[in-house]
Structure 1
Amino acid sequence: MPDDSGPLLLGPLLRYAGPTSATVWVQSRDHSRVTVRAFGREWSATTFGVHGHHYALVVLGGLEPGASSDYTVDIDGEQVWPPADPAYARFPASRVTTLDPHEPSRIAFGSCRTSVSHDAAGNASNGVDALRAYALELSRTDPQRWPHLVAFLGDQVYADMTSDEMQDFIRARRDPSQPPWLELKDYQEYAHLYRLAWTEPANRWLLSTLPSTMIFDDHDIRDDWNTSQQWHREMNAKPWWHERIVGGLASYWVYQHAGNLSPEELATDEIWQAIAAHAGSGAEDEIDLTETLDAFAERVDRRPDTYRWSYTRDLGESRLVVVDSRAARVLEPSRRSILDDAEMEWLDEQLQGGVEHLFVGTSLPFLISPGLHDFEAMNEAMASGAWGPWLARHAEGLRRTVDLEHWAAFQEGFAQVLEMVAAVARGERGRAPGTVTFLSGDVHHSFVTEVDPKVLGPGASRVVQAVCSPIRNPMPRGIRIMTALMARGLVRPMRFLAGRSSKVPDPAYPWRVTHGPWYENCLATLHVRGRGLVITWEAGEVSGDHHDQPELRRVARVAIS
């Protein structure tokens, strides 16, 4: 169980780190003043409250580009980080490192991480935690070689597949024989789930010293979240769903989203404006955002176009655009799109050239294996009634059973974004980048796909999809056979079937699986090499009975030249 004895309950997490500013997130036990000391200076913030919990996001400003400093955290004048706990003695001091705009980018990324024990039992059920193995390796590595950030691309927590520890917490506060059973019910349970996910010492140290970006996927809320109009109607009819979605989105803003934003973006965020206004008033009390965040979460669930979860990170020579592929979907069968009109317009503005590399982070892979893409496109047409109501009913069931809900299952939106990307690659939106690279997770196996360079024309960017999934939640062996067939053996049969129907759109630009699939728990690291990239997938491996001391093992290395 997480330790509640000290004033610091969770964190610190180093979230945003730009050339001249950074943010550090903490959860404290009480209403307090949180101070971060680095670079011979200090910055402070008073906590804000949500459902009886206390948080602070401390903004560090006026920094120099490419600078690095160890940092400490005080709560009400008491130093709480680094902790006195001997479990942290082997880790270097946590540090803030600002972005050097001229240094080639290094990005670690991955998705899908369950929070179970790191002993023999946990490794047997869920495999070795690749993030923890990466943290242990990083602690022994020259900081000059560390990534500039780690991008967590969905399923940071599992609200619907709970661990034994989480179930113990649920049983202690309510009857699990009643809905929603052993799934999460509300904000209080989300708060406990995040603490279980982020308190293990090695992972906690890594989160304290590597800047991070995050975006949700379905399991952060519930499996198949917004997969179809019928799913949406059924879930909203359940009496327990309202509290779940409100708790899920409110806690997501607190634990994940606020830290995604730069100080400039925070200044325009409606929730942060309430925090800033209270701080600027000189009030000594703590602002309680419980009602504000609950009302906000309810509104943005019902009207997704009133708030944007997507965001961007400028990386100097490159740019990262992180896209919400869950909350802003259009689900009407006649015009399904993974992005609504407002989100599509925003993405259209962000997909521009003039950078060395354009990275698009989206939890759901954009360019999945061609066989699976055609299968999902055919399923969407069937479920929308293209071949009558009988097939539509069965197609809807199949869609949920085998998760046919990626970009390919939203053909209208997929085609729009593919044309935008092709325009960037051809240099029609500024100088063509070296690559337009999608970074994704979700599918519990890793691979690389690439658009055929010949169809984009001479001098065009390489258009690549890189997937790293899972960090810790391996795919069952039986399902691996199907994914392998879709990646290779069934590509031509599926293309033949899809191509024969006028009701299934043909992709404008063909692509293929170039590397993979791989099925290990992995974390990937991307290195910019001029106009090219090198991407490495690494897994944790246990030697003998040393289950808590995994070593990193390279699974694959792919060069995009």
Structure 2
Amino acid sequence: MSDLVLGPLLRYVDATSATVWVETAHAGVVTVTAGDEHASARTFGAHGHHYALIELTGLEPGSKTPYQVDVDGERVWPSTDPEFADFPPSVIPTLLPGKPLRMAFGSCRVSVPHDEQGVADFGVDALRAYALFMAGITTAESPEDNERWPDLVLFLGDQVYADETSDAMREFIERRRDPDQPPWYELKDYEEYAHLYALAWRDPANRWLLSTLPSAMIFDDHDIRDDWNTSWSWRQAMEATSWWHDRVVGGLASYWIYQHLGNLGPDERRADELWKRIAAYDGGSDGRQELDVTDALDALADRADQHPETYRWSYARDFDTQARLVVVDSRAARVLEPERRSMLDDGELMWLDAQLHGDVDHLLVGTSLPFLLSPGLHHIESFSEAIAEGAWGRPGKWLGENARSAADLEHWAAFQQGFRDVARLVLDVAAGRRGRAPRTITFLSGDVHHSYVAEAQPRGGVVASRIVQAVCSPIRNPLPAVMRGFMRVVSKRPSGRAGRLLSLAGRVPLEPVRWGVTQGPWYDNNLAILQLDPAGLRMWWVAGEVTGRPDLPVLRRVATVDPVG
């Protein structure tokens, strides 16, 4: 395993091709072999690390093909390490056109040990529990969970925590620099991000799962820092520090390599300017040199931070005519200037406008932040934005800004312009004004450390689509007990009515939609699964439960949602 630092991660997979990501210990040529098919790629370098992204083609639709990884001709995967002895061979599971899509999703996962203390402090890692179940090492309570594996998993933010670091991460920081100096025990730069990703993805069970279950990802605030891009004043305060520039550049640069690049299909990847440079590199004068992209990568990250309109982190993909998945960046693309504050800048909104259309059975919209919070919380946030932007004059500005910074009031509800823009687009799709109306339009989200389902309707008229919000959070990072009581209260209908009175006091106009929580909230560490069946959209949430050893939890159902649509 010395030649393979991290991975393999199975990323974009369709009916006949698959993308495999690895980090290696040195420069070299990485080869992936699956059955009779094989492909190779030279590593590229960034900040002293070495990476490769290999695209394998010619695979059979609907197949599960075991695969191997070699570095410079030496086999590095499957691993011969005894800790992987109980796991089956990693496979590439290609999509079968027409087969009902099954997708897992969730967010918010800390990387701490899976021993007694780790479970006592943070609960069971739901992703790891699912990995052990998929590998056949543990069981599931519900027979339904044994039907088949998901076709992919969508991670909706906070794959890593750059600001709330674990003991292992703190030890690494202490070996590099003085943690009594800014940014203290938070991450400082690319090198620390690389170590954080290794901590997040190196556990044998999760590493095996990521090697055999295709994944798609999007960031949220903790991937960079809590409350990332909450407001103009937050942004100005960060940029005034001595450490923020290196932090955000390191965070976005590492995100491009560890997460974003694998989200893209072959055509989208070929259109990426930095990837085009990597793919075109011929190995230098002797054909064996590695391209170092450190400077270009950092320049991309810096530009994307300072001028977010220059780079798009959002992406979309179709699963034949049964589903379209649109994953929206709700962090980096924000417009924060008070006079034009919005969740999405003009270019991002135009892109989203083009992606949201009908002529599919189900439209899935991934956004790390819930589009539909519980109504009570939504109105609190919209009120906070209104007074922070001047609805109550200067005293209200100070009160609103401090409230949204202290209480994390920075979801879609706190960006009312963006909320209304997207709501109108969704209503157009649901009404059949953008092609045949889908059976369902479902927002998939995380972030809030509790899970629930909500359903929306237009304030006027009727639509053909069911509009649903499904939240799965956390995978592993439970909500403090004191906050659970608050969330229960704001999820109730009376809180929604009281919150609406509050937002009216802030002169917030009625939203284009009305909605309510139909199931939840619940607070387990969990992973959600959705399946598109002829009967409609089915969803269920699963968690790990310790019945013996803390590192061998069984899988249990947390909640089940009857078919929608």
TM-score, structure 2 as length reference? 0.96
Change (3 A) 1:310 1:336: same
Change (3 A) 1:256 1:554: same
User: Is the partner of 2:432 in helix, strand or coil?
Assistant: coil
Which amino acid in structure 2 is aligned with residue 358 of structure 1?
Answer: L
Partner in structure 2 of residue 114 of structure 1: 110
User: Is the partner of 2:281 in helix, strand or coil?
Assistant: helix
Deviation at 1:484, TM superposition (A): 1.0
List gaps (5 residues or longer) in structure 2: 140-144
Q: Quick check: 2:173–2:192 contact (8 Å CA) kept in 1?
A: yes
1:68 paired to 2:64: yes
Partner in structure 2 of residue 532 of structure 1: 536
2: distance between equivalents of 1:103 and 1:39?
23
Q: Quick check: 2:540–2:558 contact (8 Å CA) kept in 1?
A: yes
User: Is the partner of 1:452 in helix, strand or coil?
Assistant: strand
Change (3 A) 1:456 1:14: farther
1:191 paired to 2:187: no
Change (3 A) 1:363 1:179: same
User: Is the partner of 2:340 in helix, strand or coil?
Assistant: coil
2: distance between equivalents of 1:400 and 1:103?
45
Q: 1:126 aligns with which of 118, 122, 129?
A: 122
Q: Quick check: 1:411–1:505 contact (8 Å CA) kept in 2?
A: no
Which amino acid in structure 2 is aligned with residue 147 of structure 1?
Answer: P
Q: How does 1:293-442 map to 2 (within 5 A)?
A: 293-316=297-320, 317-442=322-447
Deviation at 1:495, TM superposition (A): 1.5
Q: Quick check: 1:328–1:339 contact (8 Å CA) kept in 2?
A: yes
1:95 paired to 2:98: no
Q: How does 1:33-52 map to 2 (within 5 A)?
A: 33-52=29-48
Q: 2:205 aligns with which of 198, 202, 205?
A: 202
Q: Quick check: 2:459–2:512 contact (8 Å CA) kept in 1?
A: no
User: Is the partner of 2:23 in helix, strand or coil?
Assistant: strand
Partner in structure 2 of residue 451 of structure 1: 456
Deviation at 1:552, TM superposition (A): 0.9
Q: Quick check: 1:435–1:531 contact (8 Å CA) kept in 2?
A: no
1:215 paired to 2:222: no
2: distance between equivalents of 1:172 and 1:507?
52
Deviation at 1:455, TM superposition (A): 4.9
Q: How does 1:171-320 map to 2 (within 5 A)?
A: 171-279=174-282, 283-316=287-320, 317-320=322-325
Q: Quick check: 1:355–1:431 contact (8 Å CA) kept in 2?
A: yes
Deviation at 1:414, TM superposition (A): 0.6
After TM superposition, what 4+ stretches of structure 1 lie above 4 angstroms from structure 2?
141-144, 453-456
Q: 1:141-199: per-residue Cα shift (whole Å, max 9, x none)? A: 89971111000000000000000000000000100000000000000000000000000
Deviates more, 1:64-73 or 1:114-123: 64-73
Change (3 A) 1:531 1:232: farther
Q: 2:522 aligns with which of 514, 518, 521?
A: 518
Partner in structure 1 of residue 135 of structure 2: 139
Q: 1:169 aligns with which of 168, 172, 183?
A: 172
Partner in structure 1 of residue 489 of structure 2: 485
User: Is the partner of 1:437 in helix, strand or coil?
Assistant: strand
Partner in structure 2 of residue 498 of structure 1: 503
Q: Quick check: 2:451–2:523 contact (8 Å CA) kept in 1?
A: yes
Q: 1:64-121: per-residue Cα shift (whole Å, max 9, x none)? A: 3223211011111111111001211211111112111211110100000000000011
User: Is the partner of 1:334 in helix, strand or coil?
Assistant: helix
Change (3 A) 1:270 1:163: same
Deviates more, 1:160-169 or 1:264-273: 264-273
1: distance between equivalents of 2:421 and 2:219?
22
User: Is the partner of 2:489 in helix, strand or coil?
Assistant: helix
Q: Quick check: 1:157–1:197 contact (8 Å CA) kept in 2?
A: yes
1: distance between equivalents of 2:282 and 2:557?
48
2: distance between equivalents of 1:166 and 1:416?
40
Change (3 A) 1:453 1:304: closer
2: distance between equivalents of 1:515 and 1:53?
45
2: distance between equivalents of 1:196 and 1:455?
50
Which amino acid in structure 2 is aligned with residue 216 of structure 1?
Answer: F
Q: Quick check: 2:459–2:513 contact (8 Å CA) kept in 1?
A: no
User: Is the partner of 1:414 in helix, strand or coil?
Assistant: helix
Change (3 A) 1:143 1:7: farther
Partner in structure 2 of residue 157 of structure 1: 160
2: distance between equivalents of 1:83 and 1:136?
17
> Percent identity, aligned pairs only?
60
2: distance between equivalents of 1:61 and 1:264?
13
Deviation at 1:454, TM superposition (A): 8.4
Deviation at 1:211, TM superposition (A): 0.4
Q: 1:442-481: per-residue Cα shift (whole Å, max 9, x none)? A: 00000001013785516x1100000000000000000111
Change (3 A) 1:144 1:292: farther
1: distance between equivalents of 2:169 and 2:180?
15
Q: Quick check: 1:440–1:466 contact (8 Å CA) kept in 2?
A: yes
Deviation at 1:498, TM superposition (A): 2.2
1: distance between equivalents of 2:161 and 2:105?
18
1: distance between equivalents of 2:458 and 2:412?
21
Q: Quick check: 1:18–1:98 contact (8 Å CA) kept in 2?
A: yes
Deviation at 1:63, TM superposition (A): 2.7
Deviates more, 1:162-171 or 1:483-492: 483-492
Q: Quick check: 2:359–2:435 contact (8 Å CA) kept in 1?
A: yes
2: distance between equivalents of 1:540 and 1:456?
43
1: distance between equivalents of 2:400 and 2:385?
8
Deviation at 1:401, TM superposition (A): 1.4
Partner in structure 1 of residue 470 of structure 2: 466
Q: Quick check: 1:34–1:75 contact (8 Å CA) kept in 2?
A: yes
RMSD: 1.5
Which amino acid in structure 1 is aligned with residue 522 of structure 2?
Answer: W
TM-score, structure 1 as length reference? 0.97
User: Is the partner of 2:8 in helix, strand or coil?
Assistant: strand
User: Is the partner of 1:204 in helix, strand or coil?
Assistant: helix
Partner in structure 2 of residue 9 of structure 1: 5
Deviation at 1:263, TM superposition (A): 1.0
1: distance between equivalents of 2:328 and 2:461?
24
1: distance between equivalents of 2:269 and 2:309?
19
Partner in structure 1 of residue 142 of structure 2: none
User: Is the partner of 1:510 in helix, strand or coil?
Assistant: strand
Q: Quick check: 1:422–1:456 contact (8 Å CA) kept in 2?
A: no
Change (3 A) 1:347 1:128: same
